[in-house]
Amino acid sequence: AFETKTLLSATGKVTLDPGFANTAACQSKITYIDGEAGILRYRGYPIEELAAHSSFLEVSYLVIHGELPDSGQLKEFSEQLRANAALPAEMRAMLDAFPRDAHPMTLLASAVNTMAAFYADTVDPKDSEQVDRATILLLAKLPTIAAHIYRNSVGQPPLEPDDSLGYVEDFLRMTFGGLSGESELDALFVRAMDLLLILHADHEQNCSTATVRVVGSSQASLYGSVSAGVNALFGPLHGGANQAVLEMLEEIRDLGGDVDSYLAKVKDKESKTRLMGFGHRVYKNYDPRSKEIKGLAAQILDRQAEPDELFELALRLEAKALADPYFTDRKLYPNVDFYSGVIYRAMGFPTSMFTVLFALGRLPGWIAHWREQRLDPAARIARPRQLYTGHAKRSYSGS
């Protein structure tokens, strides 16, 4: 076998960098992260300020177009999204044809991909008007698709969008039916959902966004690239972690709530068990999104008649982990997924929908990166190198 660790090629020195931990594949103006300091900004605006003052639609516009919209731009953007929320009958029939117990993320990726078939006049990445149209269609329809998938999965008839309602409010109504928006709790849920979407809107070169860029670099359509991003997000080490966190909390609860022995199992490398919702490639400090989400979870669960067992368990797990050198030495802190699941659960979402909610939030980020790359004169087709470690030349006839 070749023992090569580096390769000198015509284009320079090739470096082995598993997981691209130290490789920048592009320049970007969208999101700034300082992982050591726990800072996250979209287009220069701190995530905490956006969380306190803005809406998901405003943030989507900001992330995609680079500036906050003025009131006229926001109104037009919102109207465009509401006017395009309905799905064509053929697309609804296609979603209805999938097995009802299929995972919602599989259906979501498929539905996004088939938008290239239903809207074939919006697939050309070289045509700015088509790209703008595809941007609106994706943002407008993803909540309707997600709600349709959910309703089918629980054996209830899917609901049509109501364009008199706001983007997030209508998504919750299409999902759960009779959400009135009038009670205090409903209003809090709408705000909580909006806030969670804001906090997920972009996170620079995470696995799914990098995937969207890699696929887009071959000049594939926005739909095809975003569909690939949805599949990348599905994995348990990425967006699938929010589902895995809830499953982990349920497992600990079912074993009598013994946090210490679960942490002991995590620390035993042989067990191959990770503390889900902990750790991050970039954050080596408290994830600023997790801080916001933890506060929101406390606010929502406070209003429930009974204390939430899983939230209590999550708080205990965090406190124990952050007092343990295994976690502090490795700079492992709660990430965005650690507390989001308990909120989704309180809203009534099954765990299988959690990653779909992440996808709804991340959509503007995927679109923004795809569009930025499209206009980047330095962008080239993504094509990493490798260091070959297989057999040297062998002869077929030789024994």
Nearer to ligand ACO, 277 or 288 (CB): 277
Q: Shortest gap between Cβ of 289 and ligand ACO (angstroms)?
A: 9
Nearer to ligand ACO, 51 or 179 (CB): 51
Residue 142 dihedral angles phi and psi, to the nearest 5°: -60, -40
Residue 284 dihedral angles phi and psi, to the nearest 5°: -115, 35
The Cα–Cα gap between 263 and 62 comes to 40
Q: What are the DSSP calls for 336-356, one per residue?
A: THHHHHHHHHHHT--GGGHHH
Q: Shortest gap between Cβ of 63 and ligand ACO (angstroms)?
A: 16
Residue number with the shortest CB distance to ligand ACO?
279
Among 236, 195, 207, smallest CA distance to 361 is for 195
Among 170, 194, 337, 369, the one annotated catalytic: 337
Tokens 């209590």 correspond to what residue? 312
What amino acid occupies position 350?
A: P
Nearer to ligand ACO, 91 or 336 (CB): 336
Q: Shortest gap between Cβ of 143 and ligand ACO (angstroms)?
A: 20
Footprint on this chain of ligand ACO (rule: CB under 6 A)? 19, 206, 237-239, 241, 266, 274-281, 330, 332, 335-337
Q: For residue 317, give every residue at least 6 positions away whose Cβ sits within 8 Å of its Cβ, in sequence order, or none.
A: 249, 252, 259, 262, 263, 275
Nearer to ligand ACO, 183 or 328 (CB): 328
Q: Catalytic annotation on 200?
A: no
Q: Shortest gap between Cβ of 96 and ligand ACO (angstroms)?
A: 31
Element (H, E) at 360: helix 354-374
Report residue 242 as tokens.
């929010």
Among 170, 280, 287, 308, the one annotated catalytic: 280
The Cα–Cα gap between 207 and 215 comes to 12
Report residue 247 as tokens.
């499953």
The Cα–Cα gap between 101 and 391 comes to 44
Nearer to ligand ACO, 198 or 276 (CB): 276
Tokens 């997030």 correspond to what residue? 168
Q: Catalytic annotation on 280?
A: yes
Q: Shortest gap between Cβ of 327 and ligand ACO (angstroms)?
A: 7
Residues noted as catalytic: 280, 337
